[in-house]
Chain A
Amino acid sequence: MWRIPVVVLFGGLVLGLIGTMGLGLGMGAVEISPAQVLAILLDHLGFDTATEFSSTQDAVLWSIRLPRVMLGIAVGGALGVAGAAFQGIFRNPLADPHLIGISSGAALGTVVSILVFGGVLGSFAGPVGGIAGGLGAGVTVYMLARHEGRTEVVTLVLAGLAVAAITGAGASFLSVAADDARLGSVLFYSLGSLAVATWDLLWVTLPFVAVAVVFLPVAARRLDLLLLGEREAAHLGVDVERTRMVVVGLATTAVGASVAAVGAIGFVGLLVPHGVRLVAGPGHRVLLPASAIGGAALLVLTDVVARTVALPFEVPIGLLTAIIGGPVFLLLLGRTRREHGGWG
């Protein structure tokens, strides 16, 4: 069974990420040459170069594109690693934060939190609310899908759909009815956008994302054992309940903060872990970090397409991930079933 060597995998992913970062910084409505990109970056680090650039280019690169690319990396990484973690915990490759209702729950939580606690919590109202909403939705779906110690596939997807529908509608309604400038639009919460990226938003979001990306891989081995079955994992000494709570908690933290920042972006958490599994197997010690890097690269790349293909408009990024992700997911579905015996 051919598996890609780990070094090649991570090398490729990191190169891909650097490449998409380059694209993200170099492309956009305002023309900035590669030399100017480097010159501006170096300038901010204190080095002078001979290349000239205008103050507009400087501002666009430093205040708009750079935080946007950084936020894309943070959110993409969060979605990738969270998706992989959810799939491990639910023992189901269909578990994507978007599909099981956590993204919409987070959107609702964000909106409510900004409206109710915006004064008290300031810019942290968003991510805190997003995490709370995501946890609420996640717990609801999980409890509905559990039956006699197993997670039922069909119930998981259906419960996820229902929770997503209810919370998504709630978030959309509130964002329109409240008519508050602090809130995003319906389009923003349902399909996402990185157009709102600022350094402030990045700093507010980063701690939550970083916590998840750093600490989830610690549970990698336990997630592997959980795939054997909860009873088997317990027999091997894994505290299943605690592992579950920690993993779901961390993953939802990442997703909740991401949705609060840029709205709900689907399919990243579904596709990237699948891709990694296909080439490197389901072991979580590779899967989790690889999904983070892969998710980051994918999101930054998709964002570049989203904001350059239909100027002066931006295509909602969730639309692109769905358009690409949907068919690819169907392809993966068929191929994986044939080659790997499926997943029951």
Chain B
Amino acid sequence: MSAAAAIGLGYRVGDATLLDGVDLDVADGEFLGVIGPNGAGKTTLVQLLSGELHPTSGRVEIGGRDVATMSLSELALLRAVLPEHHVLQFAFRCLDVVMMGRYPHGGSEADARAAADRVMTKTDTASLADRLYPTLSAGEQARVSFARVLAQETPLVLLDEPTGSLDLRHQELVMGTLRDLADSGAAIVAVLHDINLAARFVDRIAILDGGLVRAVGTPEAVLRPDVLGSVYGIDVKVVPHPEVGCPLILPIGGGRVD
């Protein structure tokens, strides 16, 4: 039984079909990366997997159970979601923000604080603990939100562009942390825009295009010039990464409208 699965998943809004017949699954201990062009339906996929949206066809299962049958509080203990944009505008301290991630677990304030401290150390955000969230840079806010999501300590973690505003160092840190989480048994699904970053850390990659799954498999199997070329509409060369060995994608042009 997979940690999470999309089975025949489809989502329509009015005349627009955002996702069609998507079958995907992720196992415990697996890190699944989701890539694809803008508008491919990646964010919609995350929203459906999290239970935020209800599919118009098919279903989502977490731990073998249909998400639609579960209550919000049950779900909160099973899956955590890091969205792409963060809206918090009120002057909470970062520590308080991370502690909010502990809400589904209940427990005492001291316990929550201790858990938050641990997570913030692991994510290199401990120095931001007493800073006010709205005063942080976009990258710092993203890292604190990431810490909050980790503090929720769920077997499944869904992330939408977790490395978007981060510098190189923190990209490595976030992806490394996710890798560690997967290695210790969590199931991770992350929408990523940086294909090379994905290739180095994930177990499998799913390529989404126009609401359909174009390919899913290991980076080696999926990241090929023909596939990437047809999905992104540019020419690429794929070489083995000199240090790590996974595929390294090098765009070589194209993409212009003739």
Whether B90 pairs with A150 at a CB distance below 8 angstroms is no
A122 CB within 8 Å of chain B: no
Which residue of A93, A235, A277, A341 is within 8 Å of B81 (Cβ)?
A235
Complex: chain B residue closest to A227, CB-CB:
B90
Q: Which residues of A contact B (CB under 8 A)?
A: 1, 91, 93, 150, 221, 224-225, 227-229, 231-232, 234-239, 277, 281-283, 340-344
The residue of chain A having its C-beta at the shortest distance from the C-beta of B77 within the complex is A237
With a cutoff of 8 Å between Cβ atoms, the chain A residues found around residue B152 in the complex are: 236
B90, B93, B135: residue with the most chain A Cβ atoms closer than 10 Å:
B90
**Interface contact A229-B91, CB-CB below 8 Å:** no
Q: How far is the CA of A283 from the CA of B130 in the complex (A)?
A: 14
Cα distance, A298 to B124, chains bound together (Å): 44
Contacts of A232 in B (CB 8 A): 81, 83, 87
Please state if A340 and B100 are interface contacts (CB–CB under 8 Å): no
16 CB < 8 A contacts A-B? A1-B130, A1-B131, A93-B90, A150-B87, A228-B87, A228-B88, A231-B52, A235-B50, A235-B52, A237-B104, A238-B103, A277-B90, A281-B96, A340-B91, A341-B132, A341-B134
- Please, how many angstroms separate the alpha-carbon atoms of A342 and B73 in the complex? 32
Known: A221-B103, A236-B152, A283-B92. A341 touches B86 (CB 8 A): no
**Least CB distance, A223 to chain B, in whole angstroms:** 10
Please tell me the number of chain B residues within 8 Å of chain A, measured between CB atoms.
Answer: 31
A224 to B, closest residue via Cβ: B100
**In the assembled complex, which residues on chain B have CB atoms less than 8 Å from the CB atom of A234?**
52, 72
Contact B89 A236 (CB under 8 A): no
B97 at the interface (CB under 8 A from A): yes
B236 within 8 A of A: no
- The answer to whether A91 touches B89, judged by C-beta atoms less than 8 angstroms apart, is yes
| Residue with the greatest number of chain B CB neighbours at <10 A, chosen from A221, A224, A228, A283 | A228
Contact with A along B72-116 (1 / 0, CB 8 A): 110111011101001111111100110011011000000000000
For B83, the closest partner residue in chain A by CB is A231
Partner of A229, one of B86, B93, B103, B104: B86
- Assess the A236–B87 pair: CB atoms within 8 A: no
Contact B97 A228 (CB under 8 A): yes
Query: A327 to B104, alpha carbons, bound, how many Å?
Result: 42
Are the C-beta atoms of A237 and B87 separated by less than 8 Å?
Answer: no
**A residues in contact with B50, CB < 8 Å:** 235
CA distance A283 to B135 in the complex (A): 17
Q: Which one of B52, B103, B135 lies within 8 Å of A237 (CB-CB)? A: B103
**Are B52 and A343 within 8 A (Cβ)?**
no
Residue from B83, B86, B90, B130 within 8 A of A343 (CB atoms): B90
Return the 10 tightest CB-CB contacts between A and B, nearest first.
A237-B76, A341-B134, A237-B73, A282-B90, A340-B91, A229-B87, A341-B135, A343-B89, A235-B81, A344-B89
- The answer to whether A228 and B100 have CB atoms under 8 Å apart is yes
Which B residues lie within 8 Å of A91 (CB)?
87, 89-90
Provide the bound-state CA to CA distance between A283 and B96, in Å.
Answer: 9
CA distance A112 to B233 in the complex (A): 66
Shortest B46–chain A CB gap in Å is 11
Chain B neighbourhood of A283, CB < 8 A: 92, 96
